Structure 1
Amino acid sequence: MKYKVKYGWIMTFLFLVSLSTAQNKTDDLRLYDSFKPITSENVFKTEGYYNWGTSILKGENGKYHLFYSRWKKEYGFFGWLTHSEIAHATSKSPAGPWTFKEVVLEGTRKHRWDAITAHNPKIKYFEGTYYLYYVATNLGDKAFTEEDLIETAHTGYSHPNWKILRPNQRTGVAVSNSINGPWKRLDQPLLEPSGPITTITVNPAIDKGRDGNYYLIVKGDKPNEMRFIRNQAIAVSKSPTGPFQIQEKPVIDYIDTEDMSMWYDETKNRFYGVFHAHGFIGLVTSLDGINWEKANEFVLMPKRIKKADGSIVVPDRLERPFIYCEDGKPKVLSLAAKEGSESYSVFIPIEDISNPKPNSRQLAWQEAELGVVFHYDLHVFDGVKYGQSNNRIDPIDNYQIFNPEQLDTDQWVKAAKAAGAKFAILTATHETGFALYQSDVNPYCLKALNWREGKGDIVADFVTSCRKYGIKPGIYLGIRWNSFLGVHDFKVNGEGEFRENRQKWYNQMVEGMVKEICTNYGELFEIWFDGGADHPNNGAPDVLPIVRKYQPNCLFYHNGQLAEVRWGGSESGMVGDPCWATFPYVATGAGESARKNIASNNFQLLKEGDPNGEFWMPAMADAPLRGYNGRHEWFWEPGDEAHVFPLENLMTMYYKSVGRNATLIMGLTPDPNGVLPQVDVERLKAWGDEIKRRFERPIASTSGKGSTITLTLKMPSLINHIIIQEDIKDGERVRNYLIEGLVNGKWKTMVQGKSIGHKRIHQFDAVEVKGIRLKVLESTRKPILSNLSLYYVSNL
């Protein structure tokens, strides 16, 4: 199904080379899950004014200085073009609260290039001098009065003056020896539009590179474009005041973007630029300041703000992103927000994560413990034994054989729930490329069928059933192979320009499908790209930004940029002992096509993890329910009923997956009628009942902090199981432990272990104890145990 070693070793070498190449070209800055919820102290409003774009600098005395745009509300929101001024505020923290100090720049109202407005500032300190970059405009030789400007502001875009003011916008700079001024303006703007931008040069961002040059980003209109689309351009100079030379290659021209802010990271020796676009705040990066590419976290955050009370704010507008860095680390993301008649600045603290810990998606996935994946595809209906190697190459002769006349996704989901599953995943596409939903971008889908007159949507039915029965829905997308379109290991077949054009079309189709799945079916729990989704630098579809933009609460598994969980090294439903939730790499590759050293020793690193790993990446154990007695079938085949795992084997999987700090996913497959076979349903219910019988009611439980936790019983009791759990919200802390039992008045060692993580189940011969004592022999920080429970399970 996923990681068949017998087909993989040639592919391994090729994938290792491509993955290594991709990762050398990309960055490792991780901010997506570091943005903290805000409090009232992180919001800066000014009575009677609209507040807009901000820039922060730390002064010599440790005080923080904020330079920002503002204009009076009486002029209306469009007054930014006619009445904006740059103000100065101070704070003891870059996250606020801020206190207004003074206005530092206004429109000169003289016959200068900056006669009207001072807007969207960036404050910088270079070589002992302060530089305040800003945007201004003028009405050319046209005489004007204050009344003219007020009328323009109240009218907005349709006023004749707007057509002069807007194209005359330019970027300039004022200079001072003190953060408190006075500020001396340059007589001319820093640069005129050319190359990749036309009309305007606005919203400056600048930093000094390692080569000693100064790199200035400005926004302008995209040349030869009938629509109102912006480009970002880079200009280079040997001085902070110019002259600047605009480079021919744009920073961003593939989407409409606004308001880029830039900084140079000396520790990583690369530039970063943060911007806003439709629906998200984004991030790009460059090694040389000239050639820019999408950062691994291209979608840095959706346009929503988390508050400390748990609520989410989605402003009418969320723009002007600026990241303040200190000592080489991002500390605050500031944004300009507009809600109704209010406009204010938001300062989102950025957490400095010193040790790996789960994000909210990973935590929910680990706490779920048990899930299922439903495999369904065309070859379920052909009556022929499934063969992975040929199925990846040879299309199904007649896709009209897909005809599940008794389709019942309610029955599927109820069976999964009876087993104790908390989430369920459906193969929306697998290796044939056939899509089990109504796709507008992939014609090889349910629309092409006679079944249900081409109007069926199994993904919709499945998601509806999941929500009906309280199961979290997830989707599996197989994009690495597509036998119908001739795609193998992400690459379409063919040669030369013909192949290149088909590759572009396939990538666009896949990206369109991911968007359809992410936008048409509500919130999803997990998206699983079978075999990984590769790295976009290798020419594969660029899927991570789509998931991040439209499904921010969805677990991502996985591509060459990110794996939020890892495959557990086999399809046995079991992982290693110990099994750590941490891993040395942010992405794994895929099974036998994994990156360097992951495939060594029969995937030992995947099975066990790494206690010193930098990244939180818990293990997934998976197996097909029909995998007993020499079979391993992810898809329904006739006569396979005898190969459903017995209950004893399923319990062994449970102990060696969930009981070893992994999440177990069991593979299920409906039959050609569209229902889960009865023997499978009955086995799942028996499994769920047995798990409950063994672990629903502990004899006693406790929790605690520290290196020793003792649980004393009221009377001696027979036990043969102990469950221990760490509070993993702040990571795994325990590295070595033992558990002692108070037997006949003496402490006796019963079990020993290394990793605990979310859950560890210890099974042993029954013994009568008066108490249990957990001793943590080694830990990275003070241990926090959320659960220590004792059980006696009869009839084992």
Structure 2
Amino acid sequence: MRRFFLLTVAFHFSFFLLQAQTAKPAGVKTGKQVLDNFMDMRFGMFIHWGPVTLRGTEIGWSRNHQVAQNDYDSLYKEFNPVLFDAESWVKTAKTAGMKYLTITAKHHDGFCLWPSAFTPYNISNTPFRKDVVGLLAKACKKYGVKFCIYYTVLDWYSTDYPLHNNGTKQPDANGNMERFTLYMKNQLKELITNYHPYMLWFDGNWESPWTKEMGADMYAFIKSLDTSVIVNNRLGKGDHKTITDASVGDYATPEQVVGKMNMEYPWESCITISKQWSWKPNDELKTLQQCLQTLAGTSGGNGNLLLNISPMPDGRIEQRQINRLQEIGNWLQKNGEAVYGTLGGPFFPDSLKASTRKGNKIYLHLFASNKNQLQLVNVPGCTVKKAFFLNGATVDFQQSSQHIVLSWNGNMPDHNCSVLVLEMDQNVENVPLINNSSK
């Protein structure tokens, strides 16, 4: 009872505090340089994790479906991931070549991985009790990985949020979006002021109670707390894959697909390393080839890849996931020059290749290891000075008025994804995109 009273006092006190903060002028947007630096990173780790791992079903979505609501909502009482080690998670990300990390601080099920003062449904009331978000923020700072937070708009646990993923689209008459958006602001203030995230990754904006106007107000509130924090486009409405008039946020977020080539605005594909976002026993793991070609495809389309891993109920990342991430990191140790700090293009990605560019170099990410020749449309106004596999042998080339023909002996050096470099006679970063099919 005393805890409920303190929560109520904190909630009402925060109302007056937040009213004052939202009086700040609107219109602040994340700066271009901040977003350019974010896109230079190219590769990040997504982590979906919470009490639902005890059932091995999908986080949020299995509530009221695979797992009965009362069972799902009680899982936190037995959630005790005693082998959780924040530094181990962050070092795994760093070894994989990932530059930022995003944790599901609150998913659609409403459970909070930090000790929020505004709901008892949080990590401090589990047997584990430790602040997962705080420990990860500290570890990220220690190892030079940017710390980011996932926070969903919808909340099927909250009585103020009108929908509960229970098979009906009829809003709960007891719902109150004014109270709920205040709850969101209180929690976002906690997260921003206590953990200083580099980026906020929103989700759940598609349900009808949430409006674009609410998203715009929330974006302005976030910027009143931290002008530099990056916000994805799922705070508004509309298609996640693109930035439209309905969007609120800084960059687009295609999901489980590689985004299309886009030089106009930043984007990031979020894709699982297995099939399910949250941990599932014996879930099918993507091959190294799939992971590398996905990374090449996103960077070749001028986007980032946020690759999701799913820790187990005891807090460990599965060794097979760690092994796959280490393999990606080994590849990036040799080929990272062709990924980090590059622009996509100038060639459109296709089934056999992707390309990135930096300065006077074009990096061709080649997928078909059994080929020993490649024909490309000429890069307008540019001459090839040298061709070679990155950290490897030189490649023969012939350049005519229309084409560049590249050839080499034997198979490519890496059957998963090889990088062939074209050194040009001038800077190619502003060359128009070329729609060229590999031959």
TM-score (normalised: structure 2): 0.67
Superposed, 1:164-313 pairs within 5 Å as 281-283=24-26, 297=27, 300=28
The answer for the alignment partner of 1:391 in structure 2 is 63
Residue 367 (structure 1) aligned with residue 37 (structure 2): no
Secondary structure of 2:139 counterpart? helix
The answer for the alignment partner of 1:338 in structure 2 is none
The answer for the alignment partner of 1:520 in structure 2 is 194
Query: Which letter maps to 1:562?
Result: V
Secondary structure of 2:25 counterpart? strand
Query: Which letter maps to 1:662?
Result: G
RMSD of Structure 2 on Structure 1 (CA): 3.9
The answer for the alignment partner of 1:692 in structure 2 is 333
Mapped contact 1:392–1:481 kept (Cα < 8 A): no
The answer for the alignment partner of 2:289 in structure 1 is 648
Residue 555 (structure 1) aligned with residue 230 (structure 2): yes
State the shift of 1:580 in Å: 1.6
Secondary structure of 1:412 counterpart? helix
Query: Which letter maps to 1:506?
Result: F
Residue 621 (structure 1) aligned with residue 269 (structure 2): yes
Distance 1:765 1:668 in 2: 26
Residue 636 (structure 1) aligned with residue 276 (structure 2): no
State the shift of 1:556 in Å: 0.9
The answer for the alignment partner of 1:460 in structure 2 is 134
The answer for the alignment partner of 2:316 in structure 1 is 675
Distance 2:125 2:418 in 1: 56
Mapped contact 2:154–2:204 kept (Cα < 8 A): yes
Secondary structure of 1:424 counterpart? strand
The answer for the alignment partner of 1:658 in structure 2 is 299
State the shift of 1:403 in Å: 1.0
The answer for the alignment partner of 2:203 in structure 1 is 530
TM-score (normalised: structure 1): 0.39
The answer for the alignment partner of 1:575 in structure 2 is 259
Mapped contact 1:741–1:748 kept (Cα < 8 A): no
Distance 2:181 2:106 in 1: 15
Distance 2:279 2:48 in 1: 8
Distance 2:199 2:185 in 1: 17
State the shift of 1:564 in Å: 0.4
Secondary structure of 2:108 counterpart? coil
Mapped contact 1:623–1:667 kept (Cα < 8 A): yes
Query: Which letter maps to 1:391?
Result: R
State the shift of 1:443 in Å: 2.0
Query: Which letter maps to 1:466?
Result: C
Distance 2:268 2:330 in 1: 23
Superposed, 1:37-186 pairs within 5 Å as none
Query: Which letter maps to 1:676?
Result: I
Q: Residues 565 and 450 from structure 1, CA distance in 2 versus in 1: closer, same or farther, beyond 3 angstroms?
A: same
State the shift of 1:688 in Å: 1.0
Q: Residues 423 and 483 from structure 1, CA distance in 2 versus in 1: closer, same or farther, beyond 3 angstroms?
A: same
State the shift of 1:278 in Å: 5.7
Superposed, 1:462-541 pairs within 5 Å as 462-483=136-157, 485=159, 487-488=162-163, 493-495=171-173, 498-499=174-175, 502-521=176-195, 523-532=196-205
Secondary structure of 2:200 counterpart? strand
Mapped contact 1:442–1:513 kept (Cα < 8 A): no
Secondary structure of 1:543 counterpart? helix
Distance 1:542 1:392 in 2: 31
Q: Residues 489 and 422 from structure 1, CA distance in 2 versus in 1: closer, same or farther, beyond 3 angstroms?
A: farther
Distance 1:547 1:741 in 2: 48
State the shift of 1:530 in Å: 1.1
Quick one: which of 398, 403, 407 aligns to 1:749? 403
1:423-461: CA deviations, max 9, x gaps? 101100012100000111122112322323xxx211101
Which sections of structure 1, spanning at least 5 residues, go unmatched? 1-253, 258-276, 284-296, 302-356, 583-616, 627-631, 708-719, 728-735, 752-762, 777-782, 786-796
Secondary structure of 1:675 counterpart? coil
Secondary structure of 1:656 counterpart? helix
Relative contact order (C-alpha < 8 Å, sep 6+): which is higher? 2
The answer for the alignment partner of 2:357 in structure 1 is 724
Mapped contact 1:511–1:541 kept (Cα < 8 A): no
State the shift of 1:695 in Å: 4.3
Secondary structure of 1:431 counterpart? coil
State the shift of 1:535 in Å: 5.9
Query: Which letter maps to 1:543?
Result: M
Distance 2:52 2:86 in 1: 19
Q: Residues 363 and 256 from structure 1, CA distance in 2 versus in 1: closer, same or farther, beyond 3 angstroms?
A: closer
Query: Which letter maps to 2:267?
Result: A
Aligned residues: 344
1:482-528: CA deviations, max 9, x gaps? 24546538999422xx33xx43332221111111111111x321101
The answer for the alignment partner of 1:546 in structure 2 is 221
State the shift of 1:552 in Å: 1.4
Q: Residues 540 and 562 from structure 1, CA distance in 2 versus in 1: closer, same or farther, beyond 3 angstroms?
A: closer
Q: Residues 510 and 550 from structure 1, CA distance in 2 versus in 1: closer, same or farther, beyond 3 angstroms?
A: same
Secondary structure of 1:567 counterpart? coil
The answer for the alignment partner of 1:380 in structure 2 is 53
